[in-house]
């Protein structure tokens, strides 16, 4: 039996609640197949489109005549964790019942600790929320101090920092639950929180934590055996989508670092996944990280699909 942290990629979630619920029925079958193999599962997921929709709706409402209060970004993140978790739970519970498996499923609304002095706060780079004209963006900057960037000719969007995760507040609860349950946690990379001064008092901040880095941190903290990052491709490739494309079956940390230095992995897609895998296995030869497709997750666990990354 292995303890596995499964990180769902954006391809597993839909563009709206109806599409997402439909897609998650197939996700549930795949996750339950891993449970049937005797594995303990902690499931993580992204939330980019979902939290963007929530923020857009809240911004629109607050700027209208309804008198709706503004909703802080951290609270929008918690809303996305709740509704994605609800749909995942429901689909998993239904599939478990269909297959007569006596196991429960629970979502943990998860806070992830970051360093308030992280250099990412000096260079916010993650676009969030709705598009504005230059005039509208300038007005908001004066009123609220937000930072904006021009986004692909479509208008101006607010940007927030993307700091590194350093701890997971609910790690002990997750560790206790995983023995007998499928646990959904650290949705969207977690709700970013900082400590107030030298105290243990936490408060949410407007930031986005990379979901794969948070999944790797969670895997370390709960002493998982395997980090399984599921995406849209079967294997990691060199020279991706070219005539010289080479699929990678097994690579070491050193090999992965060399490929990164050679520029083989794109910053917005495969690079953070490779870096998360390195974070998890580096210095521990007993741990395994795998990057593979959702559809072949059960094969990836057996070593029959995906790219396996180990310390050596």
**Cα dihedral 280, 286, 291, 296 in deg (nearest 10):** -140
211 carries an active-site annotation: yes
126 carries an active-site annotation: yes
Pairing of strands 147-150, 156-160: antiparallel
CB burial readout 9-28, b (16+ within 10 A) else e: bbebbbeeeeebbebbeebb
Write down the catalytic residue from 39, 77, 189, 273. 273
What angle (nearest 5°) sits at the alpha carbon of residue 289, between those of residues 99 and 33? Answer: 5
Write down the catalytic residue from 9, 39, 126, 287. 126
Write down the catalytic residue from 47, 171, 187, 211. 211
Which residues, in sequence order, are CB contacts of 119 under 8 Å at separation 6+? none
Kindly state the tokens that stand for 161: 């920092």
Kindly state the tokens that stand for 72: 């802080």
3-state secondary structure of 106: strand
The span from the CA of 235 to the CA of 101, in Å, is: 31
Write down the catalytic residue from 11, 116, 195, 204. 11
273 carries an active-site annotation: yes
Q: Look at residues 211, 222, 209, 227 and name the one whose alpha carbon lies nearest to residue 280.
A: 227
Write down the catalytic residue from 3, 10, 116, 181. 10
**Catalytic site residues?**
10-11, 126, 211, 273
């Amino acid at each position: 039996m292995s303890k596995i942290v499964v990180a769902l990629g954006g391809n597993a979630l839909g563009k709206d609640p109806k599409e997402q619920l439909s897609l998650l029925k197939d996700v549930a079958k795949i996750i339950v197949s891993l449970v049937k193999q005797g594995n303990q599962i902690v499931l993580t997921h992204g939330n980019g489109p979902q939290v963007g929709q929530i923020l857009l709706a809240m911004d629109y409402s607050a700027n209208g005549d309804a008198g709706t209060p503004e909703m802080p970004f951290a609270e929008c993140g918690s809303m996305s964790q709740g509704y994605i978790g609800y749909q995942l739970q429901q689909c998993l519970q239904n599939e478990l019942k269909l297959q007569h498996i006596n196991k429960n499923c629970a979502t943990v609304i998860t806070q992830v600790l970051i360093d308030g002095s992280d250099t990412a706060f000096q260079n916010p780079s993650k676009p969030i929320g709705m598009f504005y004209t230059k005039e509208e963006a300038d007005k908001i900057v004066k009123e609220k101090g937000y930072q904006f960037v021009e986004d692909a000719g479509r208008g101006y969007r607010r940007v927030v920092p993307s700091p590194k995760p350093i701890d997971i507040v609910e790690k002990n609860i997750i560790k206790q639950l995983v023995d007998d349950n499928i646990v959904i946690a650290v949705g969207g990379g977690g709700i970013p929180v900082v400590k107030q001064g030298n105290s243990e008092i936490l408060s949410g901040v407007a930031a986005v934590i990379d979901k794969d880095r948070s999944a790797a941190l969670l895997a370390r903290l709960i002493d998982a055996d395997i980090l399984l990052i599921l995406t849209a491709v079967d294997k990691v490739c060199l020279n991706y989508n070219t005539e010289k494309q080479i699929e990678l079956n097994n690579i070491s940390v050193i090999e992965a670092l060399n490929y990164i230095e050679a520029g083989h992995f794109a910053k917005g897609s495969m690079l953070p996944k490779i870096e998360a895998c390195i974070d998890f296995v580096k210095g521990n030869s007993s741990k395994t990280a795998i990057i593979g497709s959702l559809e072949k997750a059960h094969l990836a666990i057996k070593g029959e699909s995906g790219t396996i990354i180990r310390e050596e």
